[in-house]
Chains A and B, each alone.
Chain A
Amino acid sequence: MERSMNEARPVWLLFGGNIGPMRLGPAQRTWEIALRAAREGHPVHLVLDSWDVEPPAGIDIERLHSGVLDKIRHGDAVIVSPYIRGRILWRLMRRPIPFHLDFYCVTAAEILEMLPDWPRRERWIQRFRRRVRYATLLERAETVYLSNAHQTAFLGGLLFPSPDPSQATLAARLPSKVQEAPMGCREETFPTGAENPYPTSIHGRPVFLWGGGIWRWFDIETLLQAFVQLQAKGSPAVLFFLAGSNPTKESVHDGPVRAAIGRARELGVLGKSVHFNQRAAGPSQLPAYLEHCAAGVMANPASMEALCSWRTRLLDLAWAGRPVVTSGYDPLSGIFSRFDAGILTTVGDPGALAEAIDGLASAQDRRRELGENAALLGRKMSWSRTLAPLVEGLSSEGAFRKTGAPPSFYWLLRYAVGR
């Protein structure tokens, strides 16, 4: 059944995953997209694996299973996460349903950090599967949303070696399909006046906040070494890890937290200039930590993961009008630095990082200036602005018309076998 011309196009968000009251990056993004689509008058069907939230008016939440595909009508807007279950993705790609693809991150680069622990054959299968999944989705999707140009370049490189000439053509034209729609910054006014939530032992000291999980792909060693130097020279600067334990349910992330605590102890900075949060901080407590910090900190190694990343925790700093000091490049830290809202130091150089932190710790005026620029940047990168291409696409008359070639059963076989 066709919808009438004046009827707002129904929107299907096939994202999987879970949405609850505490939303980490991907869940927050899904939620923001759904809210904005509903606000534009679209009936929104948010398709998830599980949820424990009450959806606002205009949003229906449904469970992700292949029967959902039967409900999608010709001309409906469909946005798909590339990371939903392979079986459903396969069924979607075999049908003549036009869709847009929402890559909030390119996990192919992230898993590089996990793969060394796996057997060699499994490492290759994982990479191979990601390549075929991405290639087919990129071919099939009408529009692809990515966070930054580095992700486009990485995906283009991924397509390049294929013996299939159509994939080379796709690589050449990839930027014509891609729109940048990164994670954005919250729009509500930053709440102030909260009590200082940090341990009393560090009250009155300039706190540098590590505002998210400690994943294995960060360069924690450089950061800790910088604080060793700062402590040695009597700087009041103090580092606070907001997530003092693994904030996810995945045990793979326990190791880096334990290692960071152990290393801080070994270096003699634990409980002195480096502190790990002893309690779990919920989303409602985040503003207080942001309000009472001097700046955020980040430490990247020179890695492909960092190069293709979008460090969403920096967006919280922008929301709160706080600068960031980053060791080693990542695209969002690069933007902070260009906007004079942050300081970017050479990768793996604790001396340079310590100097930048000390400079900010002792210069309140400079900190304020950088913080004001960060707040300005936050407004430029608000969710409304970053998601604008995606939301405009939902009501564009010409959108959701084109489908690429569906994958063959041979593709399915190769994907399953990983060859």
Chain B
Amino acid sequence: MWLLYPDRIQGALLGPGVRILAISRHLEAQGHQVELVLGEGSHLPSSQSDARLHVLEESVLARIQPGDGLIVSGYLPGRILASLAARPQPFQADLYCTTATEIICHPMLGSIRLLRERRRRLLRYRLLVERAERIWVSNGLQQAFLGGLLYSSPRKGTVRTVDTLPQKCQEVPMGVSDEPFSTGNPWPYPGAMRNRRIFLWGGGIWNWFDVPTLLEAFALLQENGSSAALFFLGGRRLSGREEHERPIRAALEKASSLGILDRSVFFNERAAQPQELPGYLEHCVAGAMSNPASFESATSWRTRYLDLLWAGKPLVVSGSDPLAERMAASGGAMVSASGDPVALAGSIDKLCRDEALSGSLGAGSSALGERLRWSKVLSPLLSACDDPGSFSRTAGQPTLLWRARYKLGW
């Protein structure tokens, strides 16, 4: 089994890394020899996988034999994707998220660049939908989005491609760790947060979140003398890339201007290591999130909630997203209206005061976590890999015009 992903996997695993290794481990457990092809500079945590590691470059494609299983990321570099699609090798595509929705209105891209990015994604998704034997997505909304995206293409066969898309797409969302959650972890939060009721922002601060609503909620809570405190696990700096740093700076400035920075809102002063995560989870009351009423939220799969499900912690969230709704339906989350800091502060305050509520929400979260274990969510993908009929169908190949259009973004 070949797994081709452009991601660079190193010590601290981000979402894609967690997914790749989970797929790899489960395939190995089913007796597959896994050839893991990743971005340059990757190294596997020794305990995590026995897969053979390769660097992602075009030449790897020549080593894949007819009959080998091949799963590729939906986000391979365009050149490699085009080379792959031009070969008669059948493959399945893993779209763990549809990044198209994340870039629709990227604040740092000019209108021409944005248009080109959108066109490129359109070309990429169309190629994948037409060429891949199966497509793995996180939820049905992503399928509907892809259907709408391809709907008005003048290409021959579009009607059938769109209408039968659900035959090709299957849901394999990011899952919850199969390891039992360990308790008794040391207190990892800053000393100033002792005796406070901690709400954990357990991932990066991306430009598509509605952080101001969350901060305004904490300003209200502080004003009312609440013991609630918000902790941004990702800290004051991420990768150094401007697109990553700008939303963090904006959050810091907003917290400072509201007079809540280092009083009821804290940013991690150091990079959190993966092994520290259980401690942060164990000692928080709940996770916190704030979604705008946006298309990105509506079609997302917020992987950071999976840690909460693992630890049996509730979620407090303003604005909706598919996983938050599933958590709420399982009795594991409190969802308030988007952009409403008063309602969000109300939910947080209630959770701070009501231990029984916190306990029942935690149990709801834990129950959903059981249902979303990696071993369960990966089962369609693993069955497909074991199916003797898989990796046998190839569809049309991309033309040179496709390559030219992709390069130009038009």
Contact = CB atoms under 8 A, between A and B. Distances in A.
Interface of A: 108-109, 112-113, 115-116, 120, 123-124, 127-128, 130-131, 149-161, 163, 165, 168-169, 171-176, 301-308, 329, 338
A149 B141 contact: yes
Contacts of B294: 172-173, 175-176
Interface stretch (B114-122, B229-237, B251-259, B267-275): B114-122
Contacts of A115: 159
Contact of B152 (A128, A176, A306, A307): A128
B147 A109 contact: yes
A156 B298 contact: yes
Contact of B148 (A156, A169, A173, A305): A156
B138 to A, nearest CB: 12
A153 B151 contact: no
B290 interface: no
Contacts of A163: 115
A130 B160 CA distance: 17
Contacts of A124: 154, 158
A304 B296 contact: no
Given A130-B152, A150-B144, A175-B294, 11 more contacts: A112-B163, A115-B159, A127-B159, A152-B298, A153-B299, A157-B148, A159-B148, A171-B104, A304-B144, A304-B162, A338-B329
Interface in B160-181: 160, 162-167
B167 A302 contact: yes
Nearest to A114: B159
Interface residues of B, number: 45
B340 to A, nearest CB: 13
A157 B149 contact: yes
19 contacts: A112-B162, A116-B160, A120-B156, A149-B141, A152-B141, A152-B298, A153-B141, A153-B299, A157-B147, A160-B104, A161-B152, A172-B104, A172-B295, A174-B298, A301-B167, A303-B167, A304-B147, A307-B166, A338-B329
A394 to B, nearest CB: 20
A304 B166 contact: yes
Q: Is the interface of A mostly helix, strand, loop or mixed?
A: helix
A221 B156 CA distance: 27
B166 A165 contact: no
A304 B163 contact: yes
B148 A176 contact: no
5 shortest interchain CB distances as A-B pairs: A157-B148, A176-B293, A153-B144, A157-B149, A158-B148
A329 B140 contact: yes
Contact of B151 (A158, A165, A171): A158
Contacts of A153: 141-142, 144-145, 148, 295, 298-299
Interface string B287-318: 00000111111110000000000000000000
Max chain B CB contacts within 10 Å: which of A116, A130, A161? A161
B100 interface: yes
Given A150-B141, A150-B144, A154-B147, A174 B166 contact: no
B296 A108 contact: no
B148 A174 contact: no
B292 A116 contact: no
A108 B166 contact: no
A165 B111 contact: yes
Contacts of A301: 167
Max chain B CB contacts within 10 Å: which of A150, A153, A302, A303? A153
B125 to A, nearest CB: 9
Given A127-B152, A302-B167, A157 B146 contact: yes
A151 B147 CA distance: 10
A303 B169 CA distance: 10
Contacts of B122: 160-161
Max chain B CB contacts within 10 Å: which of A124, A151, A159, A338? A124
Contact of A157 (B140, B145, B163, B293): B145
Contacts of A152: 141, 295, 298
A158 to B, nearest CB: 4
